[in-house]
Amino acid sequence: MPRLRVRDTLTQRKVAVTPRPRKPVTMYVCGVTPYDSGHMGHAFTFSIFDVLVRYLEANGVRVRYVQNVTDVDDPLFERARRDDIDWRELADRETKVHIRDMTVLGWRAPDFMPRVSEEIPRILSAAAKLKASRHAYQTDALYFDTHTYRGYGRLSHRTRRSMIRKLREEDLLGRVGPDAKRDALDFPLWRASKPGEPAWPSRFGDGRPGWHIECSVMAMRYLGPQIDIHGGGRDLIFSHHESERAQSESLTGDAPFARAWVHTGMVRYNGRKMSKSLGNLVKVSQALQRAPAAAVRLYLVSHRYRRDWNFDWNALARAARFVERMRKFLADDAREGKRGAVPGRALMAEFNRALADDLDTPRAVRALRAALRQKDAAAVRAMRDVLIGTASLT
Ligand SMILES: [Zn+2]
């Protein structure tokens, strides 16, 4: 197998993903905040990381994969209040929708899907450790002191001004003052809950965790102090991953926390980023009404993972026609009983080279098309298993 190289957001270089002796490749991908059922942007990110897992596993590399569920978060509580529903009920329901969507889209489920609400004691002990080592201070909340970490801003390649601007845009800036943050870039590790929100007792006062600490804690609990791949959508680079990196390395003293930071692009619809606030979401369930799951999945992974792209129904219909040709071909081949043939070496070499080169899925999809043209059923099956997983062809 050609050695997998992925582009690392921190160094802006392609880095090799090499399993350490007798260890699986460890991967942590930031999952959903379960308050609105999954749209194509989510499905794109998780399908891309699924191709990564399946590529490694198809080549005999073990993978240990964690994807968290952020069930303690502002937008979730706001939605629960708006709809007059218990936040736990909303989170449970929407987590199920997410898992159902991704199961239909053929993923190899993560090994662990921890929820923030179940990790509170570990989050509190990490917060206490950061306070004891003077990386955190307490005023109206417990804040991480970004001045104690060299290189805050390096992952996102942003200036201080640009970081502050993004915090303001996302309504995360908060207040600087003697009874609040010392610096605009500091962020809460633990804070008081608003009325109606869950609150857990702690030595820092009853309250709940800030956004970023959960991922440091869960990544370390399930994967250890240093991980091979940390993934997520590009919108998470700042402030979420920037902060996660600072906390994690401050907690353990081990750097790097992640050997490769891998980020996926945004999916647009009608020219604008799909987002709840713009009301231009295409949900997975809507796409599945118009095309087989394998077509939706193939359409998603036919895009280069780092680029932004525009969702287009006509392109989905073209993917569906291709999947139908593939289905017919595989059904005819199965009837003729030629299973067990060895896939063509040149075809598979091209397919593996494509994915090894920073997960070039569009090129891998072209290899799949070539395998179908050459009527190489074994190659079509092998490539389908990696690109589409277990998604249904009908
Ligand atoms: Zn995260």
Question: Could you tell me the CATH number of the domain that includes residue 113?
Answer: 3.40.50.620
pTM tops 0.95, yes or no: yes
Same domain, 259 and 350: no
Domain span at residue 237 reads: 5-273
Model pLDDT, residue 275:
77
Asked, for residue 212, whether it belongs to a domain, the answer is yes
CA of 80 to the centre of ligand 1 (A): 21
Same domain, 299 and 254: no
Same domain, 258 and 370: no
Same domain, 330 and 263: no
Same domain, 269 and 322: no
Model pLDDT, residue 339:
60
Q: In the predicted model, is pLDDT for residue 308 greater than 70?
A: yes
Cα angle for residues 74, 75, 77 (degrees, 5° grid): 65
pLDDT in tens, 136-149: 999 999 999 999 99
CA of 31 to the centre of ligand 1 (A): 7
CA of 376 to the centre of ligand 1 (A): 41
CA of 220 to the centre of ligand 1 (A): 12
pLDDT in tens, 322-346: 999 999 999 999 998 766 689 999 9
Asked, for residue 85, whether it belongs to a domain, the answer is yes
CA of 183 to the centre of ligand 1 (A): 23
**Distance between CA atoms of 147 and 164, rounded to whole angstroms?**
15
The mean pLDDT value for 355-375 works out to 98
Same domain, 248 and 209: yes
Asked, for residue 392, whether it belongs to a domain, the answer is no
Three-class HEC string of 55-106: HHHHCCCCEEEEECECCCCHHHHHHHHHHCCCHHHHHHHHHHHHHHHHHHCC
Q: From residue 231, how far is each of 215, 261, 283 by CA, in Å? A: 11, 6, 22
Asked, for residue 278, whether it belongs to a domain, the answer is no
Same domain, 165 and 269: yes
- How many other CB atoms sit within 10 Å of the CB of residue 291? 21
Same domain, 163 and 249: yes
CA of 241 to the centre of ligand 1 (A): 7
Asked, for residue 285, whether it belongs to a domain, the answer is no
Same domain, 354 and 212: no
Asked, for residue 284, whether it belongs to a domain, the answer is no
CA of 344 to the centre of ligand 1 (A): 40
The mean pLDDT value for 147-173 works out to 96
Asked, for residue 50, whether it belongs to a domain, the answer is yes
Same domain, 53 and 133: yes
Asked, for residue 371, whether it belongs to a domain, the answer is yes
Same domain, 205 and 352: no
Overall number of domains in the chain: 2
